[in-house]
Amino acid sequence: MAQIATKSRIYLDHAATTPVSAAARAAMLAALDLGGNPASVHAAGRAANATVERARDAIAAFAGCAPDAIVFTSGGTEALALALNGSGMARCAVSAVEHSAVLAARPDAVVIPVTSDGVIDLAGLADLLAAGPMLVAVQQANNETGVIQPIAEIMALVTANAGLLLVDAVQSAGKLPLPAADFIALSAHKLGGPAGVGALIMRNPATLTAVQRGGGQERGLRGGTPNISGIAGFAAAIAEPRDWTGVAALRDRIETTLVAAGGIVHGASAPRLPNITSIGLAGVANGTQVMALDLAGFMVSAGAACSSGKVAASHVLASMGLGAAAGEAIRISLSPQTQAAEIDSFIAAWTAMAKRLAPR
């Protein structure tokens, strides 16, 4: 697998970020050598602009949309904020398990409850929509548990009530087909591209108003000189084929073994992404588990990598009704480069940790 930090460590935090692929790195280096601003009309500017537009075409081909439906952003957070604040919808509803990028961008949003497995309550959503049109924001798949939402059913409800649907596909892109939605947010660094670049896909560009204004870039929908090398790396990464079949088998091996040793899988009864598992260890704080495993050479997380290094109880797991157990779970996330021997080593380390730390 690609190495992070030191050769002695095993990286199992791909949901936070995954290493930049060789193809993305090469595309970025080529773009860095261009030297022009895409807004300039001279030869260097035209070359830079051509790089951006080729990337837009590649991402449009991946998404199955027109190139002019894509707005490049600084990442998934900005893409989500652009739709949340630029859709023109006064009313907004978000699921209880959304990423903090959504929750913080619309603190006025109504929260849609979820089941004990983290699946959105469709009846609750229908009740909210009956009161009038609104923007609804739902992840295609959760970043902590991997639980997949019934987006087709949600889209049908939203459309029938004259609303708009924003889907956060940051974790699911490249693992699941992109769904039908009014807005879809993507982020390059979850796909083998660089951090600091993402995109918002719009079903109808006329439904969006700029939030960040500037020099008229991105057809006036997102001001600022584009991140040319990042965009080039994004397009190269998104075009690479990936096989997640073996990853799912490794995820299942982790869960079966750890449950037998006292672990608890959160969201196990729902459809999930192949590479993410949330494992609880009763009576042991998530921060303690993360540190113990890090000392043993394994890099995992306590949930979303969005709190400036802080470790706290997961709002996702709390929304699923787990109570104190929401602060006793870690996230293990894999990639197609994860090796079976690495998983065997991790299982041995987790089992030893559980025997040492779990209350008798």
In whole angstroms, what is the distance from residue 233 CA to residue 52 CA?
Answer: 10
CA distances from 60 to 41, 68, 199, 224 (A): 25, 8, 10, 21
Alpha-helical regions (H) of 64-150:
76-86, 100-105, 122-129
In whole angstroms, what is the distance from residue 172 CA to residue 319 CA?
Answer: 21
Record: fold of 22-238: Aspartate Aminotransferase; domain 2 (3.40.640)
- Among 3-7, 94-98, 281-285, 333-337, name the one with the lowest average pLDDT: 3-7
Q: Is the confidence at residue 264, as pLDDT, over 70?
A: yes
Q: Is the confidence at residue 280, as pLDDT, over 90?
A: yes
pLDDT of residue 305: 57
Span 94-98, average pLDDT: 97
Span 299-305, average pLDDT: 82
Span 304-332, average pLDDT: 84
Amino acid at 158: V
pLDDT in tens, 118-142: 999 999 999 999 999 999 999 999 9
In whole angstroms, what is the distance from residue 275 CA to residue 302 CA?
Answer: 16
Q: Is the confidence at residue 334, as pLDDT, over 90?
A: yes
pLDDT in tens, 42-85: 999 999 999 999 999 999 999 999 999 999 999 999 999 999 99
Record: fold of 10-20+243-357: Aspartate Aminotransferase, domain 1 (3.90.1150)
CA distances from 106 to 81, 87, 112, 131, 147 (A): 8, 12, 13, 19, 23
Q: Is the confidence at residue 27, as pLDDT, over 80?
A: yes
Average model confidence (pLDDT) across the chain:
94
pLDDT of residue 360: 73
> Residue ranges per domain, the chain?
10-20+243-357, 22-238
Amino acid at 207: T
- Read off the pLDDT band of 5 (50, 70, 90): very low
Span 10-17, average pLDDT: 97
* C-alpha distance across the termini of the chain, in Å: 37
Active site residue 65: no
Strands 164-168 and 135-139: parallel
- Residue 130 token pair: 């009956």
- Residue 132 token pair: 């009038």
Amino acid at 131: A
The answer to whether the CB of 253 falls within 8 A of the CB of 275 is no
- Read off the pLDDT band of 303 (50, 70, 90): confident
- Read off the pLDDT band of 8 (50, 70, 90): low
How many other C-beta atoms are found inside a 10 Å radius of the C-beta of residue 216?
A: 12
pLDDT of residue 87: 95
CA distances from 310 to 4, 195, 282, 307 (A): 21, 20, 21, 5
Q: Which of 29, 32, 259, 306 is catalytic?
A: 306
CA distances from 293 to 15, 64, 102, 301 (A): 17, 41, 30, 10
- Read off the pLDDT band of 195 (50, 70, 90): very high
